[in-house]
Each structure stands twice: as structure tokens, then as C-alpha cells.
Amino acid sequence: MSVRSSGACGVALLIAAWGLAPFAAAAGPPRSRESFNAGWKFARFGPMPDGSRLPEPGAPRWKIPARASSEETGKNNTADAALDGDPKTRWCAASGRKDEWLAIDLGPSPKVAALAIDWEFPDLRYAYAVEASDDGQAWEVVRSVEADHPVEKIAINPGRRLVRIRVAAPPAGKWASVAEVRLFDAAAKPVVNERVDQGETPAATGFDDAGWWTLDVPHDWGIEGPFRDDLPNDTGKLPWKGIGWYRKAFAVPAADRGRRVFIDFDGAMANSQVWLNGRLVGGWPFGYQAFRLELTPYLKYDAENVLAVRLDAEKWGSRWYPGAGIYRNVWLVKSSPLHVAHWGVFATIPALNDDAGTVSLAVTVDNQLDVDALAVVRAVIYELDEHGAVSAEVAEAKAVERSILTGGQAQASLSAVVPKPRRWDLESPRRYVARVVVERSGEVVDVYDQPFGFRTIEFTGREGFKLNGKTVFLKGTCNHHDLGPLGAALNVRALERQLEILKEMGCNALRTSHNPPAPELLDLADRMGFVVMVEAFDCWKTGKTAGDYSALFDEWHARDLEAMVRRERNHPSVVMWSIGNEVAEQDGPELAKALADVVRSYDATRPVTAGCNNPEAGVNGFQTAVDAFGLNYHTDDYARILEHPGNANKPIYTSESSSCVSSRGEYFFPVKRGRDSQANFQISSYDVDAPPWAQPPDEVFAALDRNPRFFGEFVWTGFDYLGEPTPYNSDATNLLNFSDPAKREAMKAELARLGSLKVPSASSYFGILDLCGFKKDRFYIYQARWRPDLAMAHILPHWNWPERQGLVTPVHVYTSGDEAELFLDGVSLGRKKKAEFEYRLRWDDVTYRPGVLKVVAYKAGREWATDVVATTGPATKLALAADRAEIAADGRDLSFVTVTVADAEGRLVPRSANLVTFAIDGPGEIVAVGNGDAASHEPFQATRREAFNGLVQAIVRIKPGQAGPVILRAESEGLDAAQVVIKGR
């Protein structure tokens, strides 16, 4: 099957952050869009960072409360869950210790005369005691129950205030866990627990928030820490689960009467509810999805308005660190009642050649007037320069009229021909903007600007992916949305820096794993020249972890798909829609087809795909539901899927590849996959290790070269991310990667072993770059593969091994050349040439002695590139380097400063772990620090950090409007200090 599209699309309305200059007609009436990020009040409730629990003001509370010796707050397995009447929830202790207990306060319900315990595992046996107390200090045993003699119901003396279930011995391998405690009165009738209102909530206009923090969004409350050993490492050991309230006071002038006022959230994690002046406006549960709410009916003019937002991340489940809070941008939009609808322009390109390009604009107009209206809709096309600024007018679309009933919508189809269009492509990502104008009775009532690009895409089974008629191999990376030390809070410069580094490596494609991205990511992809697979979900009906999207799927999946596609379908960078990642429902096409049809109803110009970790999905019919089939891992199944009858014309690629794991600057011996590559909660950077379902990059390259019909790969992952520290995690979702029963059982045993260890690891090891964006060795094997015309060579490991004097210490070289010669102190150790399906050169018999390693790489017989690694001297000084020495003084732009622990010659000293302390002079702030160590629990919001293998990072911003220079100083005991100057503009 061939999937062909000539749709070329662009970004959303007026993204000022990237130079899309506000047009005079759009900056004020009839339409405005202003940042709503500044000046929020914030407070947190429910599970707190220190492990305590703070009641939510005014929140309903249980009439019969419960508490416990410990509870799995990170998984919502709290004491109250055992008395909530829901058998699907549970209390679970936070350890497997004996004598964990669950206490129930019967004070308000003195009629309770008996209880029955529904254990989480009813077929197993628990030894426990039911105890009673009047003061919580002296406890009297009511009944002891042996494991071999279970009882159904236990009588309690009515009038006792407190009852406690103390688990003397849980079943082998299990922790104390109760699904439900059922209470009964003297007549054996159930006593039902109820929620009781507790007064005014923060949604009320007059609520006293004077003691709350004042902050600007985007904001992620989880990244503030601290790291806690008792929290799960699959979500980063950070206290993100909680309930957050945000409140913002603002005024709307009387001049805005008659306009429509909306608030746009680009994302709020999670389960958002929004009130204005005490009245519920709406919300959206999926924290990754953008949404709009209309404020008009609830506004006060020339008076204070109070917007309140409640987020409940406690009830959100995730396999990685999701962050928590209003972590993306918020916008206040004002328009006339007759206006272009939200995401109401869809630009497609029905015809394109070098002489002319036709852009078709499907425009949806809303009539919120109280009368019918005759709307005149027209458009003018402008070029955008490389910075997104408006350039010359190039075409005009003929106006059309539409009669729209009051409260109704109408569609207007416009078309314009642009002479000699400049195409959007990876090397020259040129864009245009369609300014859509709505008039009524000769008056302009709305102006809406929709950027787009001229380009064609085509996916075929034989020739792969074509952009503008040219075959392009997708050199992609998967990435989660967090920004390392900055957490999940959006920062455009941090995103841009990530893409700059990926571009340097040769990456040309991005997968938004596993959720809709911040719109700014796609704006950057449009501007910088990446193609993007936008992904919707990590699960469908069957979940992977408690509280995940499966709980929302039935009610929300169609709305979330609509929102994702309508928001992103105007980006030229977007080339595929993914409806899911490694979902459980890969046994047939039915559900996948239903979701794909939803996507196609909003955009038929791009293929629908999914990332499948079950290779049978490529042959069992699932593949027929998608336009392009994505296979995660399973390199041994490439050929079988390609050769399956019916797949001859199916576009196929690897939607998730490699999952190689490594720690920057760590090397272990022997150089061997598995336990030999793992020590001290780090993983060898020889790049030979991967989880059992995954492969080092060399094996993926070979599989792709043997199966050239695969049109690309998306490597897991570009950057390390918070959470999911495989192989040092006990996350049961790892079992989803195995279809073979024997391999599943082996993995289950490994997870059980890890569950018994105190594992510090809090972030992943999958990244080609570490959590700070420092390059691991693996960066260079991909650069050699993806940029074959770049003259480069890279030696690993470092050459500081005093404990290996005289021992064999293998040396590997990554190069874009085809052969290389290695020298130690000028003596040749041999010249090697890459064999077919070989992607690194190895000298596995090098005996270590201090000195200088040098490699000379050759291509087609000519010298091509060199690299040198030398034994360094001891650390004597710090060296600082800023990625940019001048940044905007707006409080948002960032400078990323790298601190190197260096010897007297300025060379990085491997394995150095010096504590670096920072100070700043001038109007600047240290936003975060980091070092890329996945096992470190040092806080990110700090002014000190230990080096990890010689490197530390400090992230600096300049306070808004204060452009004076900032001096960042770094000191470490016994080393010469250093400083760097950052100017503001």
C-alpha cells in the first residue's frame, strides 16, 4: 500500500516566542492572544514531599477516616482506599515488614459492631490481629487470626473509638494489603462510609490564599523534590503525586464587553478542573492534551476575577516521570463573537510543483452573536523568513460568503496559488502564513494567522518515505517530555538546545513518546527541519499501571484524538500520527481501525501508525488497520514481517529501536553484555549492553541494512529521562516486552531480585545523551552512521586506568571512515577495516599503560579524521563554558553552563567527582544544576553539585528586564576556581 500526501501544514496562531511577529490587525481588537503565565498563587495538598499528608481545604473527607503504619502513596494505595467502598482500590503497606497496620477511627460511627476484611489476595492466607483502643496508645487484642484458620467476620464491642488491623505475617512474598474493610452494625447491616463536606474550597472567590506561593507557570511541582527512597523509581523517586491548586486574580476592562474570552491550556498534569469566580467552567483529565475553555459567561468587567485550577496528580498513573502542575503555557484569547473557531483553519496543498503551489484553506467560523450573520471570509498568503518573521505578500485567496445561524458554525473553503513556492524540507525549512480575515457588513471582525509549509510526503512499501519526491531514511529518536534537571516544566530554549544537539548527531526525525507534545516542540521542528511522529497514547482499554489512560479511554479517546490532530495538523514537520505504543490490544485490527478512522476523519493527508512490540501484530491483521506499520525491537522478525503475504506494499519501519543502556564515562570489564556491564548502579559505556528485549546499536544497523525496505528507525532514546531506570528497576511493565513464556519468567525473577534491593537509580540509562545533554560515547556511533559525509572519529574508553596497569583494556573506535589505525605513544596497534555489517572498529587486545592513544581514520584509502585520548594529570582546576554567552533578559531564556574538572592542560579528568559550589553575581539566577548521574539523589534546585565523571551543569537565567551582565563562579576544594560572564539583552 502506498500512502501519499501533499498536505503541507504549519503551526498555531501567532507564536511570538519564535519571531512570528504579531500583525497590527491581530494584536488588538478584534482578536488578541496574551500570555497568562505570570502571577499565579500555588499550594499543594494531599501527599506532601516529606511523605506526610496535608488535607485539602474544603475537600470532602471520609466520615470514617483511616490511617496506616505505612502506605504506597506513590501508587495511591493509601489507608482511605480500604474504606472507600470500591473493591478495585486497596491499602498496601510500603514494605514487606511484619506488624504493618491499618487503623480505623470509628468515633463518628459508634454503632459499628463487626468488620470483615477483604484482602487483596483472597486466595492467600494472612496472620493478623484485630485490636481496639480508646486513645490510640493502649491497644487491646479483640481477635487473633492464624493464617491456617481464616474467619469471615470479627465482632467488635460497640463504642470503641479505634480499631486496628495488625498484619503479623503477610503471605510469602507479599506485603500487607487490604482491598476493603466492610463494617456492620449490631443488626448485621452494612455501615457505609460517606464523604462529608468541610467548608470553603480554594475555588471560592474569597478564599484566603495569602500564605500561598507566588509563581509563574509553566511549573512542575514534582521536580522540586526531594528524592525519596520509598517512592518508585519507575517515576523517578520524586514526589510528583499530589493535589495542586493554582489561583490567579485578573481584570477585564469594560471595553471587552461583547467580546468572547477564552483560556487555552497547552497542558496541565493532571485531571484538571477550572473555576472562574467560584463557578465550575470545565476541565480536561489527560494532562498531555491542550484544551480551551470559554470564560465569557462568568466574567466580571472592571472588577477582579479569580481563576482557580485544581490538578489531581495523585490519581494519575504513569510508567515514567510525568511531572505535575500547569507545566505548559497558558493563554488568554479574546475575539469578536463572529470568529474563526478554535484550531479552525486547516491548510493543505492539493497541487505543488516548482512553478506554483496551491494552498487550500478549510476555515471554520463560529457565530456567537445572538443573531444570524453573513460572514465574508478571505485570506492573504505571506512568506515567513527563517526566524518566523513576516516577509512579502505572495498570493491572495478569493473571498467567499457564508450565512451562519446564531450559535452555529459554517465552513468556508479558500484557495490561493503561490508562484514558485519555496518548499519546506529538512535542509531549508521554509514556511508561509495564511492570514484569514472575517468581515461582517464591511467591518473586519476577526484576523487569524495560520502558518504552513509547502511540501509533499509519500510512504511506500518499496521506496520508503519520500519528502518532496526524494527518499529520506528516518534517523529518529524517541523522547519523553521532561527536560532533565528542569523537570517537565516547558522551556523553549531547553527544547531548542536538545534539538540542536540531535541535529549535530544527524537526527532528522522525532517521536513524541508516548503522548501529544508541547506545541513549541513542533514549532521548533518546523523551524529547524525535523519530521515528527506525533503519538497519542501509551495504552488503550487495557492499562499498564494503576490510574493510567485506560481509565479514561472509553470516555475520552475520541476527544483526545480530535484535539491532538486538529491542533497539530498544520505543522509541515508532522508526517505520521501514532495511535498508540505497545498497547495490549495487538491481537487484531478492530480497535486499531476504530482509532485510525477517528484520526483520518480530521486529517487524511498523513498515515496512521502504531508502535507494536508484538511482532505478531505485523502478520495477524493488526497491520492492516494502520497505514504504516511500526515494529518495536524484534530485529529477528524483520524479514518475516516483510515477506508476509499482503505486506509487500506496506510501509514498515522500526518505531522503537535499540534501547542500549549506558552511563557516561563508566567502563567495566570484561566488555560483555549483561551483568559484566553493570556495577555500582551504573552501566558500561562500551555500548554493548541492552535489556533482554533490546539490542546494541550495531545489531539494529545490521538488521536495517539486511532489510532495506524498513524506511527508518526511532532510537530509544535521544536523551536520558526521569524515571524508568532499566535495568535497575522492578517495574512490572517490563514484562510487556516478552511474548515468550520462558523469557517472561526469567524477567519476572530478575524483577523480584531488584525488588529486594535498595536501588537508588531514579532516571534512565537509555539516552544517547545523559540527563544534562552531555554526550555519551554512543552519540558518536550514531553520528558516524547518520552523517557519513562528516569527517569524524571517536575513541573509547578514557585512558586513566592506574589499577589496570598491564591488563588488557579494549579500545573501540566509532568513525564515519571505513578503516582506521590505532597508535599508543606513536606505536601502531594495527590497522583495521570495517567488514560488512560492522559499525565499530575494535582493538580487544590492547594492554594498558599510561600514554596517548591516537586513531587515524581513512575513507576510500585517504586520511579522513583523527581523535586523541591521553592519560591526564591530576585535577587542578575547574573550567566553565556557556552554550551561549548572551541571552534574553526575559526570565525564560537560559544559558547552559558546563563545568569541567580539568588537569593543568585543561583536559577533563575521568572519574573525578569533586563537589562544585556555585555563586552568582548580578541579576541572574541558577535555575537548576545536574551531572547526568542516574543514581544521584542530589537536588536539582541547588547551588552545589558533585561532578559525575568530570562534568557538572548549571543552568542560568537573567531576571526579566535586568540586562546587566551575570557572573557565574564555580569553586571546588583544592582546585582553581573559574567563572564565566553571561550578558543579557
What is the pLDDT, as a whole number, of residue 19? 33
What is the pLDDT, as a whole number, of residue 733? 59
- Quick check: 211 pLDDT over 90? yes
For the segment 648-678, what is each residue's pLDDT rounded down to a tens digit? 999 999 999 999 999 999 999 999 999 999 9
Residues linked to residue 210 through DSSP beta bridges, in sequence order: none
- Quick check: 13 pLDDT over 50? no
Question: Which residues are known catalytic residues?
Answer: 582, 656
For the segment 726-737, what is each residue's pLDDT rounded down to a tens digit? 999 865 555 555
The DSSP line for 36-101 is: --SSEEEEEEEE-TTS-EEPPTT--EESS-EEES--BGGGTB-GGGGGSS-TT--EE-SS--TTEE
For the segment 435-473, what is each residue's pLDDT rounded down to a tens digit? 999 999 999 999 999 999 999 999 999 999 999 999 999
The answer to whether the beta carbons of residues 441 and 19 sit under 8 Å apart is no
What is the pLDDT, as a whole number, of residue 110? 66
Separation of alpha carbons 582 and 434, rounded Å: 38
Region of 302 please: left (phi>0), alpha (psi -120 to 50) or beta.
Answer: left
What is the pLDDT, as a whole number, of residue 53? 87
For the segment 473-491, what is each residue's pLDDT rounded down to a tens digit? 999 999 999 999 999 999 9
What is the pLDDT, as a whole number, of residue 715? 98
For the segment 809-838, what is each residue's pLDDT rounded down to a tens digit? 999 999 999 999 999 999 999 999 999 999
Phi, psi (rounded to 5 degrees) for 775: -75, 130
- Quick check: 4 pLDDT over 70? no
Q: ∠ at Cα 879 (854, 908), nearest 5°?
A: 30
Across the chain, mean pLDDT equals: 93
What is the pLDDT, as a whole number, of residue 190? 94
For the segment 219-268, what is each residue's pLDDT rounded down to a tens digit? 999 999 999 988 999 999 999 999 999 999 999 999 999 999 999 999 99
Separation of alpha carbons 632 and 623, rounded Å: 13
What is the pLDDT, as a whole number, of residue 7? 45
CB atoms within 10 A of CB 783: 22
What is the pLDDT, as a whole number, of residue 735? 59
Residue 9's pLDDT band, with cuts at 50, 70 and 90, is very low
Residue 754's pLDDT band, with cuts at 50, 70 and 90, is low
What is the pLDDT, as a whole number, of residue 869? 98
Separation of alpha carbons 763 and 107, rounded Å: 44
What is the pLDDT, as a whole number, of residue 705? 98
What is the pLDDT, as a whole number, of residue 22? 34
The answer to whether the beta carbons of residues 903 and 799 sit under 8 Å apart is no
- Quick check: 10 pLDDT over 60? no
- Residue ranges of alpha helices (H) inside 713-806 are 741-755, 778-786
Mean pLDDT of 19-30: 41
- Quick check: 24 pLDDT over 90? no
What is the pLDDT, as a whole number, of residue 74? 63
For the segment 873-919, what is each residue's pLDDT rounded down to a tens digit? 999 999 999 999 999 999 999 999 999 999 999 999 999 999 999 99
Stronger pLDDT, 9 or 525, i.e. the higher one: 525
Residue 740's pLDDT band, with cuts at 50, 70 and 90, is low
Residue 49's pLDDT band, with cuts at 50, 70 and 90, is very high
- Quick check: 17 pLDDT over 50? no
Determine the longest span between alpha carbons in the chain, in angstroms. Answer: 95
Mean pLDDT of 763-786: 98
Percent of the chain with pLDDT over 70: 94
Residue 160's pLDDT band, with cuts at 50, 70 and 90, is confident
Full-model pTM = 0.90
What is the pLDDT, as a whole number, of residue 751? 61
What is the pLDDT, as a whole number, of residue 111? 84
What is the pLDDT, as a whole number, of residue 27? 35
Q: Using DSSP, state whether 386 is helix, strand or coil.
A: coil
For the segment 536-586, what is each residue's pLDDT rounded down to a tens digit? 999 999 999 989 999 999 999 999 999 999 999 999 999 999 999 999 999
